[in-house]
A and B are shown apart, each in its own frame.
Chain A
Amino acid sequence: GAGVSQSPRYKVAKRGQDVALRCDPISGHVSLFWYQQALGQGPEFLTYFQNEAQLDKSGLPSDRFFAERPEGSVSTLKIQRTQQEDSAVYLCASRAMNTEAFFGQGTRLTVV
């Protein structure tokens, strides 16, 4: 497809379980962003990649959160030992140089 693709769309995890969320950006997009959106709030920045380099991870809320983009295309956001406060929609966005960012549909994570 032509858009940003995220999988899974929905994930239910038991507290303490590890999860991995996948993002397939638009082909050729250099920049990739992860955001976390809690219910009723705007998205909050987590981390940014330029190609395979993670240039900013200042928004990751704890060391349980880890993101990678090893070949400069697909990215994975991993959350270890999930907690209830991790329940949110995780949005991925990608951007080419000097263009707008396009968002994926998001992964809704529910930690029970």
Chain B
Amino acid sequence: QKEVEQNSGPLSVPEGAIASLNCTYSDRGSQSFFWYRQYSGKSPELIMSIYSNGDKEDGRFTAQLNKASQYVSLLIRDSQPSDSATYLCAVPPSGSARQLTFGSGTQLTVLP
């Protein structure tokens, strides 16, 4: 089992719809969770971080964390074509020096 797993994708949604991206992790000691967006040929860019159970909203983005289920998700409301990218879930292993363990990413396409 990989340490960080994401739903395989690719995922296509129509413009204006809600895109739902999911991630599970294996390390119960992990305390912080990150979502990165990576456009093709570009570097990963942090878009959301979450540390506590529940929801965290930032504009059109909502991160949801459930530590008991070892599950973290990202919702994108009112999806735009410019949201088309690969979304990477990242978790620092407990006891690490803050390096990140990434999932393999979910490729999202928002259709105009």
Contacts and interface: CB of A to CB of B under 8 A. Distances in A.
Interface string A20-35: 0000000000010101
Which residue of B43, B44, B99 has the most chain A CB atoms within 10 A of its CB atom? B99
Contacts of B4: 42
Interface string B20-54: 00000000000000100000001111100100000
B101 interface: yes
Contacts of A56: 96-97, 99
A56 B49 CA distance: 24
A42 B105 contact: yes
A110 interface: no
Contacts of A59: 99
B46 A100 contact: yes
B97 A41 contact: no
Given A105-B42, A105-B43, A43 B102 contact: yes
Interface string A31-64: 1010100001111110010100001100100000
B100 interface: yes
Given A42-B88, A43-B102, A100-B49, A91 B43 contact: yes
Contacts, number: 50
What range describes how many residues of A lie at the interface? 20 to 34
B80 interface: no
Given A41-B105, A42-B88, A101 B100 contact: yes
B30 to A, nearest CB: 14
Contacts of B104: 40-42
A33 B42 contact: no
B94 to A, nearest CB: 14
Interface of B: 4, 34, 42-46, 49, 88, 90, 96-105
15 contacts: A31-B97, A31-B98, A33-B100, A42-B90, A42-B104, A43-B44, A50-B97, A56-B96, A91-B43, A91-B44, A95-B98, A100-B46, A101-B98, A101-B100, A105-B42
